[in-house]
Structure 1
């Protein structure tokens, strides 16, 4: 089935879920050599949420998905495509998206995972957008969900203080092109940086995994350049400039990175959505969590131009331009 006229992928609703337990920097300082001042000064992070022992990635995802469906005023039966961006699946296989589909009570439809680490949501958005515009689905659920606490070395203060758990979701529908929706997306990767951010073991959210390893300085250096360049290239492709951008929603990895990306793009901090202080780095969940936060606070409004950008392990990176 193919559309009879041009369509755009329009975001109709956003949803977010954070585990109940919030861990502040002072609590981490009780078990590792760190402090609230040390973490906050270097990262902007004040707290992160940690999934309960019996919470799996799909459990977080289903909560965010239900809230996105409610915000969109769409019944679950309307969903005919489910994509889950995650690096911490419930199991190595099957896809966490299929567990999400079952827990939601959604009808039989394509359901699969996208794994691009912190760039996962942007990669997932590109896939969903392409499928909707090709007529392979009408209404999609895109979720970014992570339980990164399961793959952290809690004795490594250089990494364990940076990450948290959470899930964010969006409901996206193909609608006749009236200027709203996803305008463009650009993706890239460079595997020569594979060992600068990786996990030295398997994958899963049941505890039987390796640990995250990162060369922080290299990640920082590449993140600023790749994220800002991706935004610029995406805007150039549709004849827009950073002056047209109302909101930048970057991957929430580190406040210093986000500030530097904003400066390179000529965007003041008051045009950058920031949740890293409350959520820490939630990998593929960070952008949809920040989107839900911006929408919920009335910052992101219909008609505004929103730019998304992220970089993750691999390295992978990308950006999207959306007319809200």
Structure 2
């Protein structure tokens, strides 16, 4: 019996209509467009409209991915949605998306690993397909981080944006080697001793409020470069590949300096790295699928390309995945 791979069928994304340029923050904060660009690479981001929910963003992205695949929601067996900004405490935001796309059977659930959430969701989707529990799985990252910002904190509120991206995976036979299409490896980590470096100061059992984001930026930066490079190399090794085999890197879009230093540490030229942080800001779990879909639509990702994805976020939680598109 030939091994099963989780092979990408299509992707799609959605960005809210409202675009917020850096200059907008100058009216209320001691900051400037030049300051934000120099430290982060961010030029603008999108914010959800009043009444526009995380599920709304996810539904748009899901429908785009379905349209690009030429299938409908009833052909999806499982839906895994990564988010740190759900519509409700329960039930899962994924079930709202399930209903909206006409997915009438199977199952849907949320995963919460903040900025690493999409990779955690991807690893779960891969396991569902390889184990035979699902044939087609939709993986979504969707966030409305504008709802948990402290608008007086210039070090954090200028960094984040809202958006969603979706990827559809399908079970296909492979050989078990690195020449296969599909997910070749995943590498996940977390370390709870770093909880206080990046967190939200609210919660159901603690404050009964949503809270706002708090971050020790310099400390997160230091962890990010080394941990992303290490897990990226581990994922490639597990797939039987090296950095030289990588055609495209789709990293978490948090900070241009983190992205460029990670690439340099791994010996990967920046022309192979997808960078969308300038237009989207940090969209947490939506970051990778949003960048993936944007790059794919622009023709940067071709069938057979070896792709490395990697992300780090609150927890700290981090990970990487190797995929042959």
Where on the TM-score scale, by shorter chain, does this alignment land: which range?
over 0.9
Instruction: Determine the structure 2 residue equivalent to 1:175.
Output: 172
Instruction: Determine the structure 1 residue equivalent to 2:233.
Output: 232
SS for the counterpart of 2:27 is coil
| 1:109 CA drift (Å) | 1.5
Distance 1:87 1:75 in 2: 27
Instruction: Determine the structure 2 residue equivalent to 1:282.
Output: 283
| 1:75 CA drift (Å) | 1.6
Provide TM-score, normalisation by structure 1.
Answer: 0.96
| 1:303 CA drift (Å) | 0.6
Distance 1:46 1:209 in 2: 27
Instruction: Determine the structure 1 residue equivalent to 2:115.
Output: 118
Residue 259 in 1 paired to residue 260 in 2? yes
Instruction: Determine the structure 2 residue equivalent to 1:194.
Output: 195
SS for the counterpart of 1:157 is coil
Instruction: Determine the structure 2 residue equivalent to 1:292.
Output: 293
Instruction: Determine the structure 2 residue equivalent to 1:212.
Output: 213
Greater shift in the superposed pair: 97-106 or 310-319:
97-106
Distance 1:54 1:97 in 2: 18
Residue 14 in 1 paired to residue 11 in 2? yes
Distance 2:132 2:138 in 1: 15
1:133-148 mapped onto 2 (5 Å cutoff): 133-148=130-145
Distance 1:255 1:21 in 2: 23
- Give deviations 1:169-209, integer Å, cap 9, x for gaps: 01111111151000000000000000110000127xxxx52
Instruction: Determine the structure 2 residue equivalent to 1:70.
Output: 67
Distance 1:78 1:106 in 2: 7
Distance 1:209 1:281 in 2: 19
Residue 48 in 1 paired to residue 49 in 2? no
Runs (4+) off by over 2 Å = none
SS for the counterpart of 1:55 is coil
| 1:117 CA drift (Å) | 0.3
Provide TM-score, normalisation by structure 2.
Answer: 0.96
Instruction: Determine the structure 1 residue equivalent to 2:313.
Output: 312
Distance 2:30 2:224 in 1: 27
| 1:121 CA drift (Å) | 0.3
Unaligned runs of 5+ in 1: none
State which of 26, 39, 61 in structure 2 corresponds to 1:29.
26
Work out the number of aligned pairs and report it.
318
| 1:28 CA drift (Å) | 1.3
| 1:110 CA drift (Å) | 1.3
Unaligned runs of 5+ in 2: none
- Give deviations 1:182-237, integer Å, cap 9, x for gaps: 0000000000000110000127xxxx520000000010000001111001011111
Distance 2:169 2:122 in 1: 9
Distance 1:162 1:258 in 2: 15
